[in-house]
Amino acid sequence: MTATTFAVPATAARKPLQLGRAFVHPAFDLMVIGGGLSLCALAWMKLTGSSAPSLETVALLAFLVNSPHFAASTVRLYTKPNAFRDLPFVTKVLPLVMLVVLGTGLVLPDSIGNQLVALYFTWSPFHYAAQTYGLAVMYSYRSGVPLSDRDKKLIRVACLLPFVIALLDTRGALLSGTAVAHLLAFALAVLRPACVVAPIAIFLAGMAGRGPRLPVISIVTIVANALWWTTLRYMDAFVWATIFHGLQYLAIVIIFHVRERREPEPASRPAAIAPWVRPAAEFYAVCVVLGYLLFQAWPHASVLASLRFSQSFLVIVAIINIHHFIVDAFIWRLRRDPNYAVVTSETGRERAMTPALG
């Protein structure tokens, strides 16, 4: 999920410190979408000394969160109003293009397949950073915090630092030699604390009136992504970042999906919970089924074509990820898009619950 710029409502009130205007409930938005849950999980891991979950836990989380999250971008693409008309290439041609690339990767695993996996590993941290930026900016606008181009650049840099770390942390993969190793180690030693310090500095600058006054949810989102990539080993970070990124993504995509289908409510009438449940559950169920078919059924089909299951599994996972990254770049645009209305929409209930700290 990425963000582009859009106009700030002129009537937006500027508060000295605010949690942020929630979509569902401040606690839900902060913990699930903002990444608060992941901070709790990180604290638990550090306290107990555990790093990676058991294989069974990973499998269950993959079934309930990861796979549906990848499927969710596809489901959203095809359920987004007027998607076939507005995004003809992405909706109609991209799937076949990706299948051709997948086929090439499966037939030539040593030369193309491994490059697809490498691309997926490299792109993932960037994708998470871009999603973090998108969420941080989205909550800012939603909370009535105006952002100048300079502000957005600062936020983007803060969000992209973990990606730079992930890129440099592939020690010896791209370059080798003692001097390079020392240089990389030094760069990582500087960048790791900078990842966490940068969003806090932006927050403090905002408090002092010298920068964007980002809502707490935006800051927590940036800090959470930074901590995933700075406190965990690369592959552990991959496991956990994917789980929490998926959770974040599923929550926000379902919110958008449901809101696009909901009749506008009068501000005076309390919002009903029930109308949310069915479309949300339907959307999630479709994502779970599609995720299962893509990640669990597909690799078995490749064996019928005399391909190795292990290689097919890895290349299929890579191609699903890459497709997800590309689709996301299109479906989360805000400028001149119905997404804008969802971000800035407000119900009576939300207004009543919007907290302001200080």
Give the binding site for another protein (CB under 8 A): 52, 55, 58-60, 62-63, 88-89, 91-93, 95-96, 99, 109-110, 113-114, 117-118, 121, 170, 172-173, 235, 292-304, 308-311, 313-315
| Minimum CB distance to another protein, residue 325 (Å) | 18
Shorter beta-carbon distance to another protein: residue 117 or 241 = 117
| Minimum CB distance to another protein, residue 245 (Å) | 16
| Minimum CB distance to another protein, residue 304 (Å) | 5
Residue position matching structure tokens 């669990």: 296
Tell me 35's DSSP state.
S
Query: Is the dihedral angle over the CA atoms 207, 210, 216, 220 positive or is it negative?
Result: negative
User: With contact defined as beta carbons under 8 Å apart, do 106 and 312 qualify?
Assistant: yes
Shorter beta-carbon distance to another protein: residue 11 or 178 = 178
The pair of structure tokens assigned to 242 is: 């994917």
The pair of structure tokens assigned to 76 is: 């959203």
Distance CA 13, CA 11 (A): 6
Distance CA 86, CA 6 (A): 19
Shorter beta-carbon distance to another protein: residue 63 or 276 = 63
Shorter beta-carbon distance to another protein: residue 59 or 175 = 59
Burial 17-52 (b: 16+ CB within 10 A, else e): ebbbbbbbebeebbbbbbbbbbbebbeebeeeeeee
| Minimum CB distance to another protein, residue 135 (Å) | 26
| Minimum CB distance to another protein, residue 125 (Å) | 13
Shorter beta-carbon distance to another protein: residue 204 or 305 = 305
Shorter beta-carbon distance to another protein: residue 4 or 122 = 122
| Minimum CB distance to another protein, residue 74 (Å) | 10
φ, ψ of residue 172 in degrees (nearest 5): 80, -10
| Minimum CB distance to another protein, residue 332 (Å) | 22
Q: Measuring CA to CA, which residue among 48, 83, 95, 65 is closest to residue 249?
A: 65
The pair of structure tokens assigned to 32 is: 């699930």
Shorter beta-carbon distance to another protein: residue 91 or 221 = 91
Query: Is the dihedral angle over the CA atoms 140, 5, 33, 234 positive or is it negative?
Result: negative
